[in-house]
Amino acid sequence: MGVCDASGNALSEICNSAGVVITSACDTSGDIIYPDTFNKVLLNDVLMSTLNPSKTITPQGFAIYGNYYFQFFSGDNMMRIFSMVDYSLVGSYEASNIAHVNNMFFGTVVQDTGFPLLYVVEHSLGGRNNDSKVVDALKVSLNGYEIVSKYTLGGDCGYYPGCIIDWNTDTVYAIGYNDYPTDATQMILTVYSMSDWSTPTHRVVLPMMGILNGLEFHNGKLLYIGNTWNDSQLILSEIDVNTFEITPHYYSKSTDSEYEDCCVVGNALYLSQWDRTDNLYYRLYSMDLPA
């Protein structure tokens, strides 16, 4: 599977931490398993000024459970909940003690609120030494939340890590940058047991795979959602959690926008996006993944 730019030109080879080539570069005639277009546009061009007329807000992490879609917005620190039936806004509340939330995901055990715990990855933005690396477990409803547990990613997990849990094995995966994001040249994958977030069981150095904007699992592999640095191209990569080999897949549509997080439901991949050019629009897309 090749690594290409939007015109189909080969970019580079991807290597593992030992410098061994994992996959060679090729053009767009390669075997790309992801489609070139999204199957559905679910929320299209929602004016963010209608969500908050007085503040500049940006969508960050989101997660789907059942008929509801939880989206965190930085700028006003609001959790907004949309219906997955008609995509209307059905609830919202301020989450003032949570920072940024680069990605988030649901657990598996349903609470008395009707939802599993919602895990949110905090980032205290503002400099090289101001990154919290905290994952909060929230008990959420349509009307509010409470923090029931806090976990801190231990060891050197990199700057501004994203996080996801494989509930089949109770294994925690985190991926961060080897330096402040604008200076980073590699990514760091750290693996933890759910029972011990302080000491990684594995730490693997990976090549850059674009700006990290979401992590998920699909068919037993880690799915990495990123953007090229100019936000013109969505990057999809799969990471084998046994060998740590990477299979990159490029979605080569030029967008002038940033994809902020992802969620897999069955064989559907959901992606949120906002228009970075004028900060006007917010969108939710979905696309089919291979069964």
The reported pLDDT for the residue numbered 21 is: 37
The reported pLDDT for the residue numbered 181 is: 82
Tens of pLDDT, residue by residue over 211-245, are 898 999 988 899 998 887 765 677 788 899 999 99
Nearest to 190 by CA among 124, 248, 135, 130: 135
Global pTM value:
0.84
Mean pLDDT of the chain: 80
What's the CA angle centered on 145, arms 139 and 150, to 5 degrees?
A: 60
State whether the Cα torsion 264-234-273-16 is positive or negative: positive
Which helix (H) or strand (E) covers residue 92, if one does?
strand 89-94
The reported pLDDT for the residue numbered 193 is: 97
What is the average pLDDT across 186-206? 95
Please say whether the beta carbons of 162 and 175 come within 8 A: yes
Confidence of residue 132 (pLDDT cuts 50, 70, 90): confident
Lowest mean pLDDT across 117-121, 184-188, 247-251: 247-251
Statement: residue 27 has pLDDT above 50: no
Longest dimension (CA), the chain: 52
One-character DSSP codes across 104-145? EEEEEEE-TTSSEEEEEE----SSTT----EEEEEEE-SS-E
Statement: residue 190 has pLDDT above 50: yes
Statement: residue 28 has pLDDT above 60: no
Structural domains in the chain plus CATH codes: 14-288 (2.115.10.20)
The reported pLDDT for the residue numbered 253 is: 55
| Residue listed under structure tokens 């750290």 | 190
